[in-house]
Structure 1
Amino acid sequence: MSEYMTTQEVAATLRTSPETIRYWRHTGKGPRSFKVGRRVLYAKEDIDAFIAAAMAESEA
């Protein structure tokens, strides 16, 4: 079963602000997210994939 993270937890993991995470979600740039009620959540594996893609892009 996946572990889920809040916007604040994702921001702490990526060392950025929650506002940046919200902006990325709005523009479609950030990791995949979904809503449960009013909460926006992120699967940990999607965060890991987002980090891996960013690393691969920076190495290219």
Structure 2
Amino acid sequence: MPSFLPTTKHPVFAEARQVLASHFMDDLDVQLRKINQHYTALQFQDALLSFRCHISRVLSH
């Protein structure tokens, strides 16, 4: 089973993790960490899309 954790075998994942760790969650426009906040399926999908777009921007720079 492949591991997607950052290792020397996956330097791109390690770099992406470091870059993302340097950003605050507010910068990602994703607030899933809030306790007791209810998300509809559409809101959750929008949050994931926002996160995916941010990751794409980070990796393209």
Q: TM-score range by the shorter chain?
A: 0.3 to 0.5
Q: Which has the higher contact order (CA 8 A, sep 6+)?
A: 1
With normalisation by structure 2, the TM-score equals 0.35
Higher strand fraction (1 or 2): 1
With normalisation by structure 1, the TM-score equals 0.35
